[in-house]
A and B are shown apart, each in its own frame.
Chain A
Amino acid sequence: MRGDAVSDGALADIAYYPGCSLHGTSREFDESLRAVAAELGIGITEISDWSCCGASSGHTTDHLLGVALPARNLALAEEQGYDTVLAPCAACYNRLSAARLAIATEDGLAERIPDVIGRRFGNTVQVRNAVELLRDAAASVEEKVAATLTPNPLEGVKLAAYYGCLLVRPAEVCGYDDPEQPTSMDEVISACGADAVDWNMKVECCGGAFSVSRTSSVVRLGRAIIDDARAHGAEAIVVACPLCHSNLDLRQKAMALRGEDPLPILFVTQVVGLAVGLTPESLGLERHFVDTEPLIARLIEQAAARDAEERRVKQEAAAKAAERAARQKAGAGAAPKDGDAQ
Chain B
Amino acid sequence: MSRIGVFVCQCGENIARTVDVEAVAEALRDHPGVAFATGYKYMCSDPGQALVREAIAEHGLTGVVIAACSPHMHEKTFRRAVDKAGLNKFMCEMANIREHCSWIHEDRADATAKAIDITRTIVEKVKHNQPLESIRIPVTKRALVIGGGIAGIQAALDIADGGHQVILVEKDASIGGHMSQLSETFPTLDCSQCILTPRMVEAYQHPNITLHTWSEVEKVKGYIGNFEVTIRKKARSVNEDLCNGCGDCQAACPVRKIPSEFEAGLGKRTAISVPFPQAVPNIPVLDRQNCTLFKGRRKGLAKEVCGKCKEACLKGAIDYDAEDAFIEEEVGAIVVATGFKLYDIGREQPEGLKGYGEYGYGEVPDVIDGLQFERLASASGPTAGAILRPSDSTEPKTVVFVHCVGSRDPEKGIAYCSKICCMYNAKHAMLYKHKVHDGRAVAFYMDIRAAGKGYDEFSRRAIEEDGAEYIRGRVSRIFRDGDKVKVWGYDTLNGEQVVIDADMVVLATAIRPQDGIRDLAQKLSISTDEHGFINEAHPKLRPVETNTAGVFVAGACQAPRDIPESVAMASASAAKVMSLFSADELEREPAVALVNESTCIGCMRCADVCAYGAIEQRDICAIDGHVCGHVAYVNPGVCQGCGTCQAVCLSKSVELQTFTDEQIYSEINALCAWE
Binding site for B on A (CB under 8 A): 178-181, 200
Contact = CB atoms under 8 A, between A and B. Distances in A.
B486 A181 contact: no
Given A181-B347, A181-B360, A200-B480, 8 more contacts: A178-B347, A178-B357, A179-B357, A180-B356, A181-B357, A181-B361, A200-B479, A200-B486
Contacts of A200: 479-481, 486
Nearest to A204: B477
Contacts of B361: 181
Contacts of B358: 180
Select the residue from B347, B357, B361, B480 with max chain A CB neighbours within 10 A.
B357
- The dominant DSSP class at the A interface is loop
Contacts of B481: 200
Ranked 4 nearest A-B pairs via Cβ: A180-B357, A181-B357, A200-B479, A180-B358
A216 B529 CA distance: 51
Q: Give the bracket for the number of chain B residues in contact with chain A.
A: 10 to 19
A180 B479 CA distance: 12
Nearest to B481: A200
Interface of B: 347, 356-358, 360-361, 479-481, 486
B474 to A, nearest CB: 14
13 contacts: A178-B347, A178-B357, A180-B356, A180-B357, A180-B358, A181-B347, A181-B357, A181-B360, A181-B361, A200-B479, A200-B480, A200-B481, A200-B486
A179 B360 CA distance: 12
Nearest to A168: B357
Nearest to A201: B479
A171 to B, nearest CB: 8
B354 to A, nearest CB: 8
B186 to A, nearest CB: 33
A70 B589 CA distance: 65
Nearest to B480: A200
A326 B360 CA distance: 60
Contacts of B360: 181
A200 B485 CA distance: 11
A200 B237 CA distance: 48
- The dominant DSSP class at the B interface is mixed
A179 B358 CA distance: 9
A165 to B, nearest CB: 13
Contacts of B357: 178-181
Nearest to A179: B357
B14 to A, nearest CB: 42
Contacts of B347: 178, 181
Contacts of B486: 200
Contacts of B480: 200
B130 to A, nearest CB: 52
A212 B347 CA distance: 38
Contacts of A180: 356-358
Contacts of B356: 180
B605 to A, nearest CB: 38
Nearest to A180: B357
A160 to B, nearest CB: 14
Nearest to B356: A180
B411 to A, nearest CB: 9
Contacts of A178: 347, 357
Contacts of A181: 347, 357, 360-361
A181 B481 CA distance: 16
A180 B347 CA distance: 11
Contacts of B479: 200
Contacts of A179: 357
A204 to B, nearest CB: 8
A181 B346 CA distance: 11
B501 to A, nearest CB: 13
A331 to B, nearest CB: 47
A179 B361 CA distance: 12
B479 to A, nearest CB: 5
A178 to B, nearest CB: 6
A66 to B, nearest CB: 23
A280 B347 CA distance: 39
Nearest to B488: A204
A175 to B, nearest CB: 13
A181 B477 CA distance: 11
Select the residue from B479, B480, B486 with max chain A CB neighbours within 10 A.
B479
A171 B347 CA distance: 14
B639 to A, nearest CB: 43
A200 B486 CA distance: 10
A64 B219 CA distance: 57
A250 B120 CA distance: 85
A224 to B, nearest CB: 11
A181 B359 CA distance: 9
A289 B360 CA distance: 33
A179 B486 CA distance: 20
A156 to B, nearest CB: 24
B363 to A, nearest CB: 9
Nearest to B479: A200
A241 B347 CA distance: 26
A180 B477 CA distance: 10
A13 B356 CA distance: 38
Nearest to A181: B357
Nearest to A182: B357
A178 B357 CA distance: 8
Nearest to B360: A181
A300 B347 CA distance: 39
A200 B357 CA distance: 12
A103 to B, nearest CB: 23
A180 B356 CA distance: 8
A77 to B, nearest CB: 32
A187 to B, nearest CB: 16
Nearest to B357: A180
B361 to A, nearest CB: 6
A180 B360 CA distance: 8
Nearest to A171: B354
A178 B346 CA distance: 12
A73 B480 CA distance: 43
A164 to B, nearest CB: 15
A230 B356 CA distance: 26
Nearest to A228: B481
A179 B356 CA distance: 10
A151 to B, nearest CB: 35
A163 to B, nearest CB: 12
A197 to B, nearest CB: 13
A247 B420 CA distance: 45
B577 to A, nearest CB: 47
Nearest to B411: A171
Select the residue from A178, A179, A181 with max chain B CB neighbours within 10 A.
A181
A179 B411 CA distance: 13
Nearest to B486: A200
A181 B479 CA distance: 11
B102 to A, nearest CB: 38
B618 to A, nearest CB: 52
B477 to A, nearest CB: 8
A178 B481 CA distance: 21
A180 B362 CA distance: 13
A200 B361 CA distance: 13
A96 B357 CA distance: 25
A178 B479 CA distance: 16
A185 to B, nearest CB: 15
B366 to A, nearest CB: 15
A181 B364 CA distance: 13
A236 to B, nearest CB: 22
A178 B355 CA distance: 10
A250 B63 CA distance: 92
A259 B283 CA distance: 67
A200 B476 CA distance: 13
